[in-house]
Amino acid sequence: MNVKFRSLIGILFLSLFSWFSGQAQIKEKVFLHESCQPKSHIKSELNEAQYVLIGGVPQWVTIKGKDCSNPIVLMVHGGPGNPLSMYHDSLFQDFEENFTIVHWDQRGSGRTYLAQFEAEELTLDMITNNNLSVDLLVKDGLEVSDYIRNRLGQEKIIISGASWGSFLATKMVHAAPNTFHFYVGLSQLVNGSKNYTKSYQKVKTIAVERGDKAALDILNKMGPPSWSHPSSFGKLRRIIRRYESETASNPVQWKVSKEYLSEFSDSRYSMFSEEFSFLKFIGLNGDGMINDVALDACCINLKIPIYIIQGDKDLLTVPEVTKEFFEEIVASDKEYIQIENSGHDANMDMLGMQLDMLKAGAAKYIKKE
């Protein structure tokens, strides 16, 4: 049975129970994977891609690996609204030799968005009448973590996140440290207000030094944060991408896996899901989830080992803010790794360091049976 047909069956099955979701959360019974059964003689590779009922919503979860006994890594994607599942083969296939890699399309993102919304366009009503909050996504993430642990028969997993995903993963670690072996963060998002203020200042300084009149006109017109109009964030991000493309080296080749090509050509998947999540993050009037992004105010006591990987040319989650937060963290162990000539978006050097830190953490903190 192919993945798309299996997914359709999953959605139809879950829809039979959808009338419960407003009153009570339904949890599917999770069966241990046949390759993970005690004394199992089945040693097949793990390759699952399906909808799982999380928080009353069918959410897309993929599991890929070579051996069920390998440590599990939950990759928490950024954005919000930028799932990594469709890029797994080009970015994370090498990770499978040592780890079982799990991707989760968050509520409002990717294939989970497709299961949530049938509308062919994104409407104001969809944005205003559908809840998406930090607390809800943290709760979803912990439920996904429990599903993975039960499905693969391991008491704890590793968690790794980049950008928005680093913030969400840190919140999950803070809420349930006993669920995770250790954490690996990339381009750590710390505090919405502080990150964007420092980012704006740094980008404007570069624009002045370069005599970049076009960028300065945009930056001066919108002024420093906080902003009430969502377009201000997009304008800053476009300038950042242009500047980082000129300074960061060894870029990643973002190749869409073949099983996602049809969705990638669907505007609901490739455009509307990202816009929905972005607008819920920023808010239509400066009232989005970004106001709840403040790890330095809530989450410095993390209780598990922490690795943070930071690009020295990152103009969005700037190193100064990341390093200040890192110094405040109270953890059983922690390490800050700065990558030269790397910006906010991961390049091959950052991905290589992510794999290295996963290997180092697994060797140090996970006991072999």
- HEC sequence for the chain: CCHHHHHHHHHHHHHCCHHHCCCCCCCCCCCCCHHHCCCCCCCCCEEEEEEEEECCEEEEEEEEECCCCCCEEEEECECCCECCHHHHHHHCHHHHHCCEEEEECCCCCHHHHHHHCCCCCCCHHHHHCCCCCHHHHHHHHHHHHHHHHHHHCCCCEEEEEECHHHHHHHHHHHHCHHHEEEEEEECCCCEHHHHHHHHHHHHHHHHHHHCCHHHHHHHHHHCCCCCCCCHHHHHHHHHHHHHHHHHCCCECCCCCCHHHHHHHCCHHHHHHHHHHHHHHHHCCCCCCHHHHCEHHHHCCECCCCEEEEEECCCCCCCHHHHHHHHHHCECCCEEEEEECCCCCCCEHHHHHHHHHHHHHHHHHHCCCC
Residue 19 pLDDT: 35
Residue 119 pLDDT: 83
Closest CA to 169 of 156, 155, 154, 158: 158
Place of tokens 């207000």: 193
Non-local CB neighbours of 294 within 8 Å, separated by 6+ positions: 190, 191, 192, 193
Residue 28 pLDDT: 67
Residue 368 pLDDT: 64
β-bridge partners, 263 = none
The tens place of each residue's pLDDT in the chain, 369 residues long, gives: 444 444 444 444 444 434 333 334 445 678 788 878 876 666 678 999 999 999 999 999 999 999 999 999 999 999 999 999 999 999 999 999 999 999 999 999 999 999 999 888 899 999 999 999 999 999 999 999 999 999 999 999 999 999 999 999 999 999 999 999 999 999 999 999 999 999 999 999 999 999 999 999 999 999 999 888 889 999 999 999 999 999 888 888 899 998 888 877 777 777 888 999 999 999 988 889 999 999 999 999 999 999 999 999 999 999 999 999 999 999 999 999 999 999 999 899 999 999 999 999 999 999 864
> What domains appear along the chain, each with residue ranges and CATH number?
3-14+43-190+253-365 (3.40.50.1820), 195-247 (no CATH)
Closest CA to 290 of 204, 129, 167: 167
Closest CA to 106 of 161, 155, 152, 149: 161
Residue 248 pLDDT: 85
Residue 27 pLDDT: 58
Kindly report the number of other CB atoms within 10 A of residue 147's CB atom: 21
